[in-house]
Homo-oligomer: A and B are copies of this chain.
Amino acid sequence: MTKPTASDRRAAAVFDALGDPTRRGLLAEIGRSGPVTATELAADRPVSRQAIVKHLQVLAAAGLVTAEKVGREQRYTVTVAPLDDAATWMAAVGSAWDRRLAKLAERHRRTAPGGAPR
């Protein structure tokens, strides 16, 4: 429980990657438009191609996009698998909180409020 699992570490990478609005927009656009190059992505945005490349590298490090070489071009596609890890992490936080709520409700029902355990 105190040790971070592999899923946790991948979820951390996903949240780090998705913490930037530019990267969120890139991921959404790649998912919509299909395989696309960094140059094409930069054409629609007010930043340089190199900035896009850096963002794509971060997304690739999180496993959210994969690059495929086609001729002299580098086309990026979306990989949705890491999103599951992030969703799992959020579900864990939510369920822990829900369990906490249930415990509190039960204790409150059995006795008069005696103060928080801790």
A residues in contact (CB < 8 Å) with B: 12, 15-16, 18-21, 24, 27-28, 31-35, 78, 80, 83, 86-87, 89-90, 92-94, 96-98, 100, 104, 116, 118
Contacts and interface: CB of A to CB of B under 8 A. Distances in A.
Say whether chain A's binding surface is mostly helix, strand, loop, or mixed: helix
Contacts of A34: 100, 104, 116, 118
24 contacts: A12-B21, A12-B24, A15-B19, A15-B24, A16-B21, A19-B20, A24-B89, A27-B93, A28-B93, A28-B96, A31-B94, A31-B100, A32-B100, A34-B100, A34-B104, A34-B116, A34-B118, A78-B93, A78-B97, A80-B97, A80-B98, A83-B90, A83-B93, A86-B90
